[in-house]
Amino acid sequence: MNTSSVLHSAMAFVIFASVSSSATAADPFSFEGFAGLEYDGRIRVDELDLDQRKGDFLALVETKLRAKSADGGKGSLTLGYDLSQRSHFEFPDLDRQSHRFSADGRVKVSKAELAATYDYIHFRLGGEALVDIQGVEPKVSWPVARKTTLSASYRFERWDFATANTRNTKNDFVALGFSHQFSPGRQLTARLRYETNNAITPRLDLHGFQLNTAYQLPFHALQRRGSASLQYEFRKRDYESITPAIGERRWENRSVLTVTADLPFSRRLGGRTSVRLTDRNSNFPASNYEEVRASLGLVVRL
C-alpha cells in the first residue's frame, strides 16, 4: 500500500473534521467524511481499458464539504469540494485520487425549480495526473403531484487526458427524471439518459443510453434508526467505428446493483457498509467482466 497517500488522505479527513466541528446549527457549512476498507474483486482502470484480472484490498478516505448561501425561500448557491482516495494494498501504481470542485445554483420560478451546476474533477492514478473533467448541467424540475416531481436536464462534459490525449472527448447527455416521496426517509427515483461521446480518435465515438433507479428506505437496528438504499443501473453503449483490436464495432451492456446501509451510532458518528455487483458484457475483451466490491467504514457528519 502507498503509505504516503493514506497518511495525506487521513490528514485531510482530520483537518476538515476539525474545521467543521466549530460550526453552529445555523452555519451554512456542512461536512461528511468516510474512512474504511474495501475489497475489489477486479482491479480495473476503465478510462484506459486496463484490467488486472485479480482483486485487492483498499483503504478508502472520502470527504464532502459544502458551503450554502441563505436561500431566502427563492434561490440558493452551493459550493462544494469532494476528495476521494483509494489506496491499494498490492497495486500502489493503481491508487486513485480525485478532487471535485462544484457550484450549484437554484432558483424557484412559480412551482418549478431552475438549476445549473458546474463541476471540475481532477483524477490521479498512481500519483500521476490521469484526466481532467469539466461539466455544466442546466436542469428544470417541477411537481406534478403532491409528492411526485419530474425533471429534465442537459449536460455537457469535456474530458482532457494528461498523456493519453487521443482519448480526449466531448460528451452530451440529455436526461428525464422522476422522484416520488412515499414517506419521510422512503423515496423512489429514476432517470433515463441518452449520451453521445465525440472523441479525437474516431474508434472511441459512441452513443447509448443509461437507466438509473434508486429506492431509499429506513430500517431499525441496535435500537437505532438507519437508512438503506438499493440502486440499479443499466447502460448500453454502441461504438460508431470499427475497433482494430477486434475487427468490428465495439458494443457493451453493463448492469450495476448497489446496496448501501448507514447506521448512526451518535448524532455525528455512524457506520456504513456497501456491496456493489457489476456485470459488463462486451465483444471487447477488456470490457467483458464481472466485479464485486464490498466496503465497511465509519462516517462523520458535522
Give backbone dihedrals phi and psi of 51, rounded to 5 degrees, phi first: -140, 120
> What radius of gyration, in Å, describes the C-alpha atoms of the chain?
20
- Domain region containing 234: 69-79+102-301
Average pLDDT over residues 185-191: 96
Q: Is 159 part of any domain?
A: yes
pTM of the model: 0.85
Please give the share of the chain, as a percent, with pLDDT higher than 90.
Answer: 75
Give backbone dihedrals phi and psi of 104, rounded to 5 degrees, phi first: -130, 115
Q: Is 9 part of any domain?
A: no
| pLDDT of amino acid 286 | 85
Question: What's the number of domains the chain is made of?
Answer: 1
Q: Is 49 part of any domain?
A: no
pLDDT tens, 38-78? Answer: 999 999 998 888 888 889 999 999 999 999 886 666 789 99
Q: Is 123 part of any domain?
A: yes
Q: Is 46 part of any domain?
A: no
Q: Is 63 part of any domain?
A: no
| Mean per-residue pLDDT of the chain | 89
Q: Read off the CATH number of the domain in which 73 is found.
A: 2.40.160.10
Q: Is 176 part of any domain?
A: yes
pLDDT tens, 84-141? Answer: 999 999 999 999 999 999 999 999 998 899 999 999 999 999 999 999 999 999 999 9
Q: What is the dihedral of CA 140, 146, 148, 152, to 10 degrees?
A: -10
H/E stretch holding 10: helix 3-20
Q: Is 85 part of any domain?
A: no
Contact 88, 1 (CB under 8 A): yes
